[in-house]
Chains A and B, each alone.
Chain A
Amino acid sequence: MNNDVLLDIRNLHAGVEDKQILKGVDLQVRRGEVHAVMGPNGAGKSTLGGVLSGRPTFTVTEGSVTFDGRDLLTLSPEERSWAGLFMSFQYPVEIPGVSITNFMKAAVGARRKALGQPELSPAEFLKLLKEKMGMLKMKGEFARREVNVGFSGGEKKRNEIFQMAMLEPTLSILDETDSGLDVDALRIVAEGVNRLRTPQTAAIVITHYQRLLEYIVPDVVHILKDGRIVRTGGRELVDLIEKEGYESIDG
């Protein structure tokens, strides 16, 4: 059944300026699946996340990406978001002067408008905000804080998952969400991600370490090395990397 493929990456080549980073990535993600993309530093993990979310610094030179039946690479970052794609940033950006509430109001409002859904009333929006905050164990004052300003590493990552919960994406890409998290924050983040799992949605967890994968259990594991996926398997790959490192896997 080809129609339950949510994301179809074929022969993707991409890079920055004259430097080639991804050198022919093939990856298919079906609805309901969680994929892990693991790899050493410099393998191209963050480039993959950047290309999928439409970061302008990267240029695609070859290949295609189909998302939910659409040509993803022709869409602007905001159109990708409306289409149901979400990326949790490795380094969430601070936006002084913009409160979490106003940020999310703009994001949810724009999305609903683009999808032809009626605007939420202020009361409905507040209810949604509180529900999602509760899910991620965030205190009331959080909504009034400026986006990521003065947040600890853990708070920033939790804020990413909170935004993911607010936007209810079909495909979530978690780019090194575990970096900078202590065990408690890791657990809260993973719980949030797991609770958002449905048979209709999928996730790609990009990570260097196996730590997060103890909490978010992947169905499929890919090893990315030097811009290519060199091995695809099940959870046993995570243990193999843990024991023998990336060196043991040939590119």
Chain B
Amino acid sequence: MDRRVYVLGRDSAPQYLRLEAGEELSMTLVIPPGLSGREVLEVDLNGPGASLDLSGVYVCAADERVDLRVLVRHAAPGCHSRQLFKGIVGGTASVAFDGLIYVARDAQKTQAYQENHTLLLSESARVESRPQLEIYADDVQCSHGATAGYLNPDELFYLRSRGIPEAEARRLQMIAFLAPVLSRLPEELIEEIHAGLS
């Protein structure tokens, strides 16, 4: 499978992609700490059996403004798309996530999933998540979900009760939260993101 990683502000990421019959793509977008901006991505699943595994991670711990817009269009039957976007928002940063899954009338047997989860570190951090489904076929499996929450206090207490200082315990929780997306990245990039968490 084609695996691509784009660090926004550093790599030039595509804004439009088209997958033909049977093509498989795994793609991960990284929004590193300190970066503000808008990222728009459209993917067309244009041939039967195409498959997209799309992930994204954002770490906005200060005053960043990030606007993410993702459109995945299922135009052909039997295509799969799976999206997982996770991020941490702290300080006075604000993130907007717009995710639309469009399933055309002919795209029967579509499987399309989208998840967006955000960990908020402060009262003034903001996230607006707008997952949307627009479905014109009748034999499909589609779902989307979005959550936003704070660090789990029971986890934090458990870690501290084992002697892990509060700041380090929080950091461990953040690393754990991002792990499903970070595991797709090369080691040095993982370390760079870990270092940006505090």
Instruction: Return chain B residues, CB-CB under 8 Å to A56.
Output: 153, 157
Q: Are A103 and B162 in contact (CB under 8 A)?
A: yes
Please tell me if A92 contacts chain B, counting CB pairs below 8 Å. Answer: yes
* Chain A interfacial positions (CB closer than 8 Å to B): 53-56, 76-78, 80-82, 86-87, 89, 92-93, 95-98, 102-103, 106-108, 110-111, 114, 163, 167
Asked if B158 and A110 sit within 8 Å, CB to CB, the answer is no
14 contacts between A and B (CB under 8 A): A54-B160, A77-B161, A78-B160, A78-B161, A78-B163, A86-B161, A97-B175, A98-B176, A103-B172, A106-B164, A108-B163, A110-B164, A110-B168, A167-B163
Tell me whether A55 and B168 are in contact (CB under 8 A): no
> Of residues 161 to 179 in B, which have CB atoms within 8 Å of A's CB atoms?
161-166, 168-169, 172-173, 175-179
B159, CB-defined interface residue at 8 Å: yes
Q: A78-B160, A78-B166, A95-B173 are in contact. List 10 more A-B contacts (CB 8 A).
A: A78-B161, A78-B165, A87-B161, A89-B158, A93-B154, A96-B176, A97-B177, A103-B159, A103-B162, A163-B162
Which residues of A lie under 8 Å from residue B155 when comparing CB positions? 93, 95
Looking at B152, B162, B165, B173, the one whose CB has the most chain A CB atoms below 10 A away is B162
Most buried by B among A95, A102, A111: A95
Query: How far, in whole Å, are A103 and B175 apart by their CA atoms in the complex?
Result: 12
CB of B14 closer than 8 Å to a CB of A = no
Chain A contacts of B34 at CB under 8 A?
none
- Contacting residues, chain A, for B179 (C-beta < 8 A): 96-97
Q: Does B180 reach chain A (CB closer than 8 Å)?
A: yes
Chain B residues, Cβ within 8 Å of A110: 163-165, 168
A-B contact number at CB 8 A: 73
Residues of B within 8 A of A77 (CB): 157, 160-161
8 nearest interchain CB pairs? Answer: A97-B176, A81-B163, A97-B179, A77-B160, A93-B158, A107-B162, A111-B163, A98-B176
Known: A96-B176, A97-B179, A97-B180. A81 touches B158 (CB 8 A): no
Nearest to A169 among chain B residues (CB) is B163
Distance in Å from the Cβ of B162 to the closest Cβ of chain A?
Answer: 4
Cα–Cα, bound, A78→B172 (Å): 15
B163, A107: Cβ atoms under 8 Å? yes
Binding site for A on B (CB under 8 A): 152-155, 157-166, 168-169, 172-173, 175-180
CB neighbours of A82 from chain B (8 A): 163
Q: With the chains together, A97 CA to B164 CA distance in Å?
A: 16
Within the complex, the shortest CB–CB distance from A49 to chain B, in Å, comes to 10
Cα of A167 to Cα of B168 in the assembled complex, Å: 18
Task: Say yes or no: B176 contacts A78, CB within 8 Å.
Answer: no
Q: Are B172 and A98 in contact (CB under 8 A)?
A: yes
- C-alpha gap A205/B143 in the complex (Å): 47
CA distance A145 to B3 in the complex (A): 26
A95 touches B176 (CB 8 A): yes
- What is the distance, in angstroms, from B17's C-beta to the closest C-beta of chain A? 29
Chain A, Cβ-Cβ closest to B178: A97
- Chain B residues positioned under 8 Å from A89 (CB to CB): 158, 161
A134 CB to nearest chain B CB (Å):
20
Question: CB-CB < 8 A to A78: which residues of B?
Answer: 160-161, 163-166, 169
- Contact A95:B158 (CB < 8 A) given known A56-B153, A78-B165, A106-B168: yes
Contact pick for B161, options A54, A96, A97, A106, CB 8 Å: A54
For A103, list chain B residues within 8 Å (CB).
159, 162, 172
What's the Cα separation between A97 and B174 when bound, in Å?
9
Contacting residue for B163 out of A55, A95, A96, A114, CB 8 A? A114
**Cβ B176 vs Cβ A92 within 8 A:** no
Cβ contact within 8 Å between A92 and B158:
yes
Q: Which residues of B contact A107 (CB under 8 A)?
A: 159, 162-164
Which residue of chain B has its CB nearest to the CB of A112?
B163
Residues of B within 8 A of A98 (CB): 172, 175-176
- With both chains docked as a complex, state the minimum distance between the C-beta of A164 and any C-beta of chain B, in angstroms: 10
Interface centre among B176, B179, B180 (most CB of A within 10 A): B176
Residues in B with CB closer than 8 Å to A92 are 158
A209 to B169: give the CA distance in the assembly, Å.
Answer: 34
Q: Within the complex, what minimum Cβ distance (angstroms) separates A250 from chain B? A: 35
